[in-house]
Amino acid sequence: MMSIRRRSAISSYPEEMEKSSGKTPQPRICCLISLSAMFWVLILTFHFSAFSTPPIIGPDQPSGNHQFVLEETSMQNIPKFDNTNIQKPPVESENLSEKVPSLPPPAIVPQPKPVNNLPEAYNLKDHVTDQYSSGTGSEPQQSQLTDKKPPVIQNQPEKPPQSFAFEKALRMSENQSDPCGGRYIYVHNLPSRFNDDMLRDCKKLSLWTNMCKFMINDGLGPPLDNSGGVFSDTGWYATNQFAVDVIFSNRMKQYECLTSDSSIAAAVFVPFYAGFDIARYLWGYNISTRDAASLDLVNWLEKRPEWKVMGGKDHFLVAGRITWDFRRLTENEEDWGNKLLFLPAARNMSMLVVESSPWNANDFGIPYPTYFHPSRDADVFIWQERMRKLERKWLFSFAGAPRPDNPKSIRGQIIDECRNSSVCKLLECDFGESKCHSPSSIMQMFQSSLFCLQPQGDSYTRRSAFDSMLAGCIPVFFHPGSAYVQYTWHLPKNYTRYSVFIPENDLRNGNVTIEERLRQYSPLMVKQMREEVINLIPSLIYADPRSKLETFKDAFDVAVEAIINKVAKIRRDMVEGKEDKDFIEENSWKYALLDEDQGTVGAHVWDPFFSKPKDGGSDPGNSASAEAAKNSWKSEQRSQKF
């Protein structure tokens, strides 16, 4: 009953005002009595209805009484609402104490502003019921929850996104203030048995060639004499075609964005001389010896914390040999090479080789080294300008030897046509002394030719293709595997801009002669194509490892940038949960030819060049290529491969 008397204190406030004026009119007293009676009825109704419904836990104060107070006070036009004495009326539990807890002492409600100044969204009820939202009052009954809806149960929160150890490195590319942001390379500090020890024992790197002389000058070899005026005065070396291992590693030592913190690295370099390793054991050694260093390397890498970040997918290494030297299919002692690129761990890494496999996704072609290794940008500018001004008296030229043991080779036809043409220059290469072994003779012939023929060698590719482009000579290819699907990082996808393509079958079937085809190009077209070739020179050469070009990107820079982009895409796809389930590794050569807006591959005009023979399940192409790799050693006996 105390609550009723406290409530009446509010309703009697007008009476006190009137008493102060000394007036007590009878009609007003009657009115107050009537209102008091109505108030008692409401209280009793509220009392019985409250216990007629089971209690429900909720945060809201009953709205009916509050509305009454607000309406009553507003009717009296009271300028200030005095809430210091308001408290919640106690509710008798009638032996329902287990269901309805007793009320604590009344809570003091903050004093609101005058009613006249209340904003539209103001709700007095929100202030009065603070005692419940704070957990200090008893729970209201279900029938009293008339203004506020019960809280809506939200959906379960999504699981937090998966975190990746490489996220810091991925964010580095967004740091505009860091010139190396997104370009950092971490280099593994490998035990010397994987690199330097091989150089110290350089006499064993080749069965027929003393590689020691080619290891000087950071792998560039001895300087070339320019007495004939074919070269520039500086920057020319007798570089071995298989020296990319050491050249690339020494260039990496001068890379401007090396880091000792692998957590910010865009990629991880493994300075393993894979090409030198296999070259030691290709002939006369069992498969255990051939595989030993590769297995040792993988075992070492897999124990490293850097490897565990992506399982090796951010790692890359370089081998200055063709891919078939690292793709032994079986455990037969007679099979060629080692199995480095078939090891599960190595399949995650990217391996840069001078000739890649069209049917595999873990190797990428990079240019053979040429003889030119400039140390300054000016050396490149001077050479390019010189190539533009040369007079070229031969329509086309060819340097090479026939392949009588290979019935599919078109070299014999090329040599025959060149011999019988007055506009072709021929350098025949075979055992014994030959001008083919002289860098100055080769470069002089290329410098005097408009087009340079580049048929397949013992395998798809030839070093000669890069020597000819260095001389500003437009290359003529007969198989897309000789360049177009190999060096997609370094050459334009639109091969017609810088080269001529004559399918091998066109020559075999006598559908066209080389001279007829080349004469179809106008002098203007030839000039435009030659200019494209000359502009490509910086990206096809390896700068002197002891220096760095300032404005040009050499073959090393292009390859590193491509690797960084590849790793970044893999990381973004992992974060976004993307997976190319339609990827077909056998079609790897096609994916490199896709434009950025293309996502799938289909039939291609070059499919016949890369169709695999159906021979009962063996890996097509590899057996023939392994045989070609064996034959390539014959060229090494001649000191150089053309």
Kindly state the tokens that stand for 146: 């008339």
Q: CB neighbours (10 Å) of residue 166?
A: 23
Domain that holds residue 442: 388-535
- Inside any domain, residue 462: yes
Q: Which segment of 235-239, 265-269, 362-366, 578-582 scores lowest on mean pLDDT?
A: 578-582
CA 317 to each of CA 313, 363, 529: distance values in angstroms, whole numbers, following the listed order? 12, 10, 33
Question: Do residue 311 and residue 170 come from a single domain?
Answer: yes
Query: Are 429 and 354 contained in the same domain?
Result: no
- Please give the helix or strand (H or E) that residue 269 lies within, else none: strand 267-269
Note the pLDDT tens digit of each residue in 438-496.
899 999 999 999 999 999 988 999 999 999 999 999 999 999 999 999 999 999 999 99
State the total domains in the chain.
2
Report the predicted TM-score, pTM, of the whole model to 2 decimal places: 0.73
Residue 35 maps to a domain: no
- Can you tell me the mean pLDDT for 315-324? 97
Which pLDDT value is given to residue 99?
42
> pLDDT band at residue 626, thresholds of 50, 70 and 90?
low
Grouping H, G, I as helix, E, B as strand and the rest as coil, residue 441 is helix
Which element (helix H / strand E) includes 185? Answer: strand 185-187
Residue with tokens 């071995």: 240
pLDDT at 58 over 70: no
Closest CA to 313 of 270, 271, 249: 270
- C-alpha separations of 33 from 12, 68, 387, 395 in Å: 11, 17, 117, 124
Mean pLDDT (whole number) for 552-561: 97
Question: Tell me, what's the pLDDT at 432?
Answer: 56
Cα pseudo-dihedral 12, 15, 17, 23, rounded to 10: -170
Q: Which pLDDT score, from 0 to 100, does residue 6 have?
A: 39
User: What pLDDT was estimated at residue 155?
Assistant: 62
DSSP line for 300-335: HHHTSHHHHHHTTTTEEEEEEEEGGGG---SS-TTS
Q: Is residue 72 in a domain?
A: no
CATH code: domain of residue 429? 3.40.50
* Average per-residue pLDDT for the chain: 80
* Phi/psi of residue 45, nearest 5 degrees: -60, -45
Least confident residue range of 44-48, 464-468, 568-572, 590-594: 44-48
Q: What value does the CA radius of gyration of the chain take, rounded to a whole number of Å?
A: 43
Among the candidates 506, 535, 564, a domain finishes at 535
Output DSSP code: residue 600: -
Let me know whether 207 and 321 are in one domain: yes
442 and 365 share one domain: no
- pLDDT tens-digit map of 79-120: 443 444 434 344 444 443 444 444 445 444 444 444 444 444
Q: Which two tokens stand for residue 1?
A: 């009953």
Are 468 and 518 found together in one domain?
Answer: yes
**Non-local CB neighbours of 547 within 8 Å, separated by 6+ positions:** 254, 375, 376
Number of H helices, E strands in the chain: 25, 11
- Same domain flag for 244 and 331: yes
pLDDT bucket at 16, cuts 50 / 70 / 90: very low
Same domain, 202 and 267: yes
User: Rounded distance, CA 419 to CA 417, Å?
Assistant: 5
Within a domain: residue 193?
Answer: yes
Which of 532 and 157 is assigned the larger pLDDT?
A: 532
CA distance 607 to 245: 32
Q: Rounded CA gap, 320 and 337, in Å?
A: 14
Judgement on whether residues 529 and 561 belong to the same structural domain of the protein: no
- Tell me phi and psi for residue 341, to 5 degrees: -75, -5
Q: How far is CA 138 from the centre of its chain?
A: 60
Instruction: Answer for the pair 447, 469: CB distance below 8 angstroms, yes or no.
Output: no
Q: Rank 24-33, 568-577, 597-606 by mean pLDDT and report only the highest.
A: 568-577
For the segment 371-385, what is each residue's pLDDT rounded down to a tens digit? 999 999 999 999 999
According to the model, what pLDDT value does residue 36 have? 74
Position with higher pLDDT, 637 vs 532 = 532
pLDDT at residue 344 is higher than 90? yes
Checking if the pLDDT of 299 tops 80, the result is: yes
Residue 420 lies in a domain: yes
Question: What DSSP state is assigned to residue 420?
Answer: T
Q: Is the pLDDT of residue 600 over 50?
A: yes
Q: In this predicted model, what pLDDT tens digit does every residue of 163-187 receive, in sequence order?
A: 888 888 888 888 888 999 999 999 9
Helices (H), 95-159: 124-128, 130-133
Helix 63-76 with 2-11: angle, nearest 10 deg: 30
Choice between 72 and 369, residue whose per-residue pLDDT is larger: 369
User: What is the spatial order of strands in the sheet that 424-428 belongs to?
Assistant: 424-428, 394-400, 449-454, 474-477, 500-501
The average pLDDT across 328-353 equals 95
Average pLDDT over residues 271-277: 97
Residue 463 located in a structural domain: yes
pLDDT of residue 429: 84
User: Mapping DSSP to helix (H, G, I), strand (E, B) and coil, where does residue 268 land?
Assistant: strand
Tokens, residue 542? 């390896």
Per DSSP, the residues of 545-562 read TTS--SS---HHHHHHHH
Backbone region of residue 104 per phi and psi (left: phi > 0; alpha: psi in -120 to 50; beta: other values): beta
Region for 79 from its dihedrals, namely left if φ exceeds 0, alpha if ψ lies in -120 to 50, beta otherwise: alpha
For 113-160, what is each residue's pLDDT tens digit?
Answer: 444 444 444 443 444 344 434 444 444 444 444 454 555 555 666 666
- Please give the helix or strand (H or E) that residue 4 lies within, else none: helix 2-11
Does the pLDDT value for residue 11 go beyond 60? no
* Whether residues 332 and 400 fall in one domain: no
**Using one digit for the tens of pLDDT, what is the confidence trace for 180-234?**
999 999 999 999 999 999 999 999 998 888 899 999 999 999 999 998 999 999 9
Closest CA to 397 of 458, 459, 461, 467: 467
Q: Are residues 352 and 427 in the same domain?
A: no
Indicate whether 413 pLDDT > 60: yes
Looking at mean pLDDT, say which of 50-59, 141-150, 182-191, 575-584 comes out highest: 182-191
Indicate the SS3 state at residue 375. coil
Mean pLDDT along residues 611-635 = 52
* Boundary of a domain, candidates 501, 535, 569: 535
Confidence of residue 628 (pLDDT cuts 50, 70, 90): low
Task: Look at residue 107 in the predicted model and tell me its pLDDT.
Answer: 46
Question: pLDDT tier at 513 (50, 70, 90 boundaries)?
Answer: very high
- Whether 328 and 436 map to the same domain: the answer is no
Instruction: Among 484, 502, 535, identify where a domain stops.
Output: 535
Provide the percentage of residues in the chain whose pLDDT is more than 90. 57
Q: Is residue 345 part of a domain?
A: yes
- Does residue 63 lie within any of the structural domains? no
Residues for the chain: how many in total?
Answer: 642
Residues 361 and 508 in one domain: no
User: Collapsing DSSP states into helix, strand and coil, what is residue 57?
Assistant: coil
Above 90 in pLDDT, residue 544? Answer: yes
